[in-house]
Amino acid sequence: MTEFGVDVSAEDIVDTLSFFDDWEERYKYIIDLGKELPPLAESAKTEQNLVRGCQSQVWLDSQLREGKLYFVADSDAFIVKGLLAIVLAAYNGKSAAQVADYDIDAYFDELNLLSHLSSTRGNGLKAMVQRIQNEGRAAL
């Protein structure tokens, strides 16, 4: 099973996206990343795991294993699943302190991501990140 952040890192995604010349190709790659996300069990698609602030339905579940946080997520929209993969690559397999302190804005800037998303998608992406960072702070 692929665990983004373990098998696919944020650096891998930055490197791969830099090969594409236009955003149409980048969007295709992002959607393909989403297809690689491990499936979220139907039993985890609960009200508690639903991420508020997203236009699409997004569920996020986390586990603390051996001092590291691991996240599994799913969405009903292909592009959102890809965005989840990008976010999980940054956070999976990190300690709670690393999750809480990670500079996600610098990562998004490096990807030049937010300027290519609609404002509602961007707000949803920020809601996902906020939820993950809150999980990190809670695990401290």
Per-residue pLDDT of the chain (140 residues; tens, 9 = 90+): 456 777 889 999 999 999 998 999 999 999 999 999 988 999 999 999 999 998 899 999 999 999 999 999 999 999 999 999 999 999 999 999 999 999 999 999 999 999 999 999 999 999 999 999 999 999 99
| Residue 2 covered by a domain | no
| Residue 4 covered by a domain | no
| Residue 32 covered by a domain | yes
- CA nearest to 104, candidates 119, 126, 79, 124: 126
| Residue 109 covered by a domain | yes
Domain extent, residue 133, equals 10-139
Other C-beta atoms within 10 Å of 47: how many?
6
pLDDT on residue 38: 86
Query: Which CATH number covers residue 19?
Result: 3.90.1010.10
| Residue 5 covered by a domain | no
Paired strand residues for 59: 50, 74
3-state secondary structure of 68: strand
pLDDT on residue 7: 83
HEC assignment per residue over 44-58: HCCCCCECCCCCCCE
pLDDT on residue 102: 95
Q: Say how far residue 77 (Cα) sits from the centre of its chain.
A: 13
Other C-beta atoms within 10 Å of 38: how many?
13
| Residue 122 covered by a domain | yes
Tokens of 100: 């809480």
CA 37, 39, 40, 45 torsion: positive or negative?
Answer: positive
By DSSP bridging, strand 58-65 and strand 68-75 are antiparallel
Domain count, the chain: 1
For residue 39, report the phi and psi dihedrals to the nearest 5 degrees: -65, 145
- CA nearest to 30, candidates 67, 73, 82: 82
Residues serving a catalytic function are: 54
pLDDT on residue 3: 67
pLDDT on residue 1: 43
Q: How far apart are CA 42 and CA 23, in angstroms?
A: 33
